[in-house]
Amino acid sequence: MGNVTQTPTLPPEAGAAASPSTGPNSGSAGSQARGRVRTGRNLEGHRWIGRPAEAFTTEALKERLIGSIQSWRDYPASLRLWYWLIPALTAALGGILRFVRLDTPRNLVFDETYYVKDAYSLLVSGYERSWPDRANDSFIAGNPGVLLNSPEYVVHPPVGKWMIAAGMWLFGADNPFGWRFGAALTGTLSIFLLALIAQKLFRSLTLGAVAGVLLAVDGHHLVMSRTSLLDIFLMFWLLAAFGALLMDRDDGRRRLAARLGRQAAASPTGRPLALQLTSGPWLGIRWWRLAAGVCLGLAVGTKWSGLFFLAGFGLLTVFWDLSARRIAGVHAWISGGILKDGVPAFLTIVPVAAVVYGFTWTGWFLSKDAYFRHWAEANPSAEWGWLPNAVRSLAHYHLEAYKFHQGLSSDHPYEASAWTWLVMGRPTSFFYESPAKGTPGCDLSNCTSAILSVGNPLIWWGAAVSLVILLFWWAGRRDWRAGAVLAGVAAGYLPWFMYPERTTFFFYAVSFEPFLVLALVYCLGLVLGQRSDPLWRRRSGFCLVALFVVAAVLVSAFFYPVWTGEVIPYQEWRLRMWMPSWI
């Protein structure tokens, strides 16, 4: 037994074999792309023995840490095009659903009355200004110039409103297409991102396509993409940050493998020296973490609830690095990982996010009349007087906004406790009208035009069940993919339980909806099976997954009229109200 080791060379969390499914389209790209370390295999095909002299080669470490498919280039040449084409096609599907009739209704629906007008104010002045009474009528009529000169007190940072303003700059502020373009484009791009993330997370083109299609046709995401509220922009930057950290996970492991491999090659034993394995090497500047910090800064600059994701994602990326050092054979992997990965991660992500967040207030800093802009000058402080007046004024602004959010407990007909979100107990009605007979689309005496932010029941209820399965898979099988998805849901969902008295709404859940879709796709991957399964098992699994996706698309087609404000008979609207609390 002197020439073998029982240390696994492909642990459950590293390779494609431990994923819910590698999908029928992923093939054996890794084996086609590179040579393999000669190892033994158990009956399921997992590596379980290897030669100690080969355990610390760069290629062996990469396969142990990342798996056989380490990037899109490792797919067979015939599938590389599909790696990018699948996300593009699913985004195109979502784009059609989001942009067609985007100017309907012509009203400012729900909280568009705040954010759209604030966005126009930013476009004109760089800060939010007040509006006169009945300003909505003038704005809808294409006359937004009634803006007053006095500043307006707002309680959300400006990034999302700037993204709304970008659409107005391109297509004008006098039409609904212009003021909703930013939301529709952001929602479409998020579908492309999610499909790419799912492909990388599950090492499966099939599951990437499923994830993209499910997000594209879900009603909750669709409604949020067709109305200019801030939450769709928050969701986008959070999803982009997660994707950047997913890229950083592989990049960090490649660096760890390369550094340990070089140390092993320089050693006469073929292994790094004992001192080198004590805590492992430094990994240098992590550029993808830097990108994640930028995205998280923009997320917090959209809504402050992004702070919970900043904390959750920061811990997640450090845990990934601790695990990498353990798998690579580093002895003091906890202390070494905290010192050489945890501290640099904090210094990379948090300060970058803070600086980016500060820059999002540039319009406020450059203004002379923005709300609280000169508060510090009128309120000198012996304790904090060393700070620039503008910084003290902005800090006071944030304190007042925080107090507002903490005390937000007024009753609202569509408020929904966080306990009800996963089952869609009380979705938000954004718009409702009863057109008279003879209006376009209404040939009956009783018609309805509505926009309800209810999701596709098959997707949402399936995702709720999937979260339970993921908990068992993460705890029992130690699958890092399950843990990553659960972390995204937890960061967006659990913090709301700390504020039971606060008025909350179901549409807040869009911030973590992509992770709900990933949870559902994970379980569909379990149904799909693995490449090592018998052919009949793979075919039956594929048929079941295809059947689920087709059923989800048909359910979305059924609910589409109440997501987009189509004029339909009242009885057809009632037919779609599956729960009394949806009315």
> Is the pLDDT confidence value at 385 over 90?
no
* pLDDT: which is higher, 271 or 197: 197
- Predicted confidence (pLDDT) at residue 436 exceeds the cutoff of 60: yes
So what's the pLDDT on residue 12? 40
Q: Is the peptide bond before 105 cis (omega within 30 degrees of 0)?
A: yes
pLDDT, tens digit, 9 for 90 and up, residues 497-536: 998 888 999 999 999 999 999 999 999 999 999 888 899 9
Residue 344's pLDDT is what? 94
Q: How confident is the model at residue 230 (pLDDT cuts 50, 70, 90)?
A: very high
CB-based burial label for 10 (10 Å; 0-12, 13-18, 19+): buried
* Secondary structure in 3-state letters for 444-487: CCCEEEEEECCCCHHHHHHHHHHHHHHHHHHHHHCCHHHHHHHH
Q: Tell me the whole-structure pTM to 2 decimals.
A: 0.91
More confident call, 355 vs 22:
355
What would the pLDDT profile of 184-208 be if each residue is shown by its tens digit?
Answer: 999 999 999 999 999 999 999 999 9
In this structure, the number of other CB atoms found within 10 A of the CB of residue 238 comes to 32
Which residue(s) pair with 432 in the sheet?
Answer: 450
Rounded mean pLDDT, 138-162: 92
Angle between helices 159-171 and 231-265 (to 10 degrees): 110
* Tokens of residue 561, six digits: 């009229």
Residue 345 has pLDDT above 70, yes or no: yes
Q: Which of 359-368, 404-413, 496-505 has the lowest mean pLDDT?
A: 404-413
Cα dist. 195→141, 188, 201, 225, 514 in Å? 39, 11, 10, 17, 10
Q: Fill in the amino acid letter for 449.
A: S
Is the pLDDT score of 430 beyond 70?
yes
β-pair partners for 567: 449
Check residue 440 and give its pLDDT. Answer: 86
Do 489 and 166 meet the contact criterion of CB atoms below 8 Å apart?
Answer: no
Of the ranges 73-87, 121-135, 303-317, 319-333, which one carries the lowest mean pLDDT score? 73-87
Q: What local confidence, expressed as pLDDT, does residue 50 receive?
A: 59
| pLDDT at site 70 | 66
Query: What is the rounded average pLDDT for all residues in the chain?
Result: 89
User: Considering the chain, what percentage of its residues have pLDDT values greater than 70?
Assistant: 91
Q: Which of 354-363, 384-393, 489-498 has the lowest mean pLDDT?
A: 384-393
Distance between CA atoms of residues 119 and 245, nearest Å: 30
Predicted pLDDT of residue 439? 85
At residue 10 the predicted structure's pLDDT band, cuts being 50, 70 and 90, is: very low
Cβ(110)–Cβ(227) below 8 Å: yes
Confidence at residue 61, expressed as pLDDT on a 0 to 100 scale: 87
Lowest mean pLDDT among 368-382, 402-416, 486-500, 565-579: 402-416
Residues 6+ apart with CB under 8 A from 427: 220, 414, 416, 452, 453, 454, 455, 506, 507, 582
Residue 299 CA to residue 360 CA, distance in Å, equals 11
Q: Which pair of structure tokens corresponds to residue 62?
A: 């990469």
**Percentage of residues in the chain with pLDDT exceeding 90?**
74
The answer, yes or no, to whether residue 302 has pLDDT greater than 90, is yes
Predicted confidence at residue 219, as pLDDT, reads 98
pLDDT of residue 469: 96
218 CB-contact burial (10 Å; exposed 0-12 / middle 13-18 / buried 19+) = buried
Which pLDDT does position 145 carry in this prediction?
85
pLDDT at 429 over 70: yes
- Is residue 39 over pLDDT 70? no
Q: How many CB atoms lie within 10 A of CB 35?
A: 7
pLDDT, mean of residues 150-164: 95
Confidence label for 31 from pLDDT (cuts 50, 70 and 90): very low
